[in-house]
Amino acid sequence: MPIHEKSLIRPENLVEHEELVIDGVDVSGHWSTFIKPRTIFDYNEAMQDEIAALPGGENIHRCWQCGSCTNACTVNAVNPEFNPRYWIYLIRLGMEEELLRDKDILWQCVSCNKCTYACPRDVVPEAVMKATAHWMELKGHTPKSNSTHFDEEFASQVIATGKIEESRVIRGFFRKTGQPLNQPWLAALITGLVRRFPLGYLMRMGWATVFRPKTRGWSASRRAIREYVHEREAENRKALGLDATGGH
């Protein structure tokens, strides 16, 4: 009988022995092929509550699996494996192992929010994707994503000075993500700027890069923002059952 649903057989579940003799019978190679069962043996009941406790995950329990989000999804059009509806189902039922299989593509949401407008139940799938990616980082399942690195660099500059300085954001982002600063598109952008911008502008930009001016009276705001960020991070970590420190 042919194997139906062959696509359901996962490579990691295929067991094969190169050299195997059972009761004097040589069953080496594909003669010993064995497929491990795919049975799900339990639900992680904390997972939905944990993700719902992170910003953006609040409405996840409303989902009724209509699939409008996946149908509207920009990324799904390129990569059919990117399936918000499916992940929401896994989270709701606590199928952690199944969710973690997609940890390397889940963060790829481009936040176009087409799903947000398509969703008849106001689940805000875009925000759920963010919360889920955040959950994976906090739990240590994934390293910080590039977008997290960018957000952190951006936020740290705002917190420090009340402003951002673009070249510094780009340099910090490239450093944190291990990308070389010498990118052809960046070089073209900079030479283009230098050629076209009035000299006064360029001097002001250069001055800001070197001296990092702060917004006037920023220190009080900085204290308040830092305090708030710490508070929220501690809350998030507590919701996930992690200790209050560490992370980012």
Closest CA to 76 of 133, 120, 136, 126: 126
Strand partners, 21: 26
Helix (H, G, I), strand (E, B) or coil at 181: coil
For 33, 87, 182, the CA distances from 123, given in Å and listed in that order, are 44, 13, 42
Q: Is 46 in the site for another protein (CB under 8 A)?
A: no
Q: Is residue 10 packed enough to be buried (19+ CB in 10 Å), middle (13-18) or exposed (0-12)? A: exposed
Q: Is 36 in the site for another protein (CB under 8 A)?
A: no
Q: Is 117 in the site for another protein (CB under 8 A)?
A: no
Q: Is 61 in the site for another protein (CB under 8 A)?
A: yes
Do 89 and 80 meet the contact criterion of CB atoms below 8 Å apart? no
Span of 15-23, 89-97, 136-144, 151-159 interacting with another protein by CB under 8 A: 89-97
Closest CA to 50 of 131, 162, 158, 112: 131
Span of 20-28, 41-49, 140-148, 164-172 interacting with another protein by CB under 8 A: 41-49
State the minimum distance, in angstroms, from the CB of residue 48 to another protein.
Answer: 8
Q: Is 8 in the site for another protein (CB under 8 A)?
A: yes
Q: Is 194 in the site for another protein (CB under 8 A)?
A: no
Contact with another protein (CB under 8 A) among 86, 87, 107, 135: 86
Span of 26-34, 84-92, 161-169, 178-186 interacting with another protein by CB under 8 A: 84-92
- Cα angle for residues 142, 40, 107 (degrees, 5° grid): 25
Q: Is 41 in the site for another protein (CB under 8 A)?
A: yes
Strand partners, 14: 35
Q: Is 42 in the site for another protein (CB under 8 A)?
A: yes
Residue 20 half-sphere exposure, CB side, CA atoms within 13 Å?
13
Contact with another protein (CB under 8 A) among 16, 81, 96, 98: 98
Binding site for another protein (CB under 8 A): 5, 8, 37-43, 45, 48, 61-62, 64-65, 86, 89-90, 92-93, 95, 98
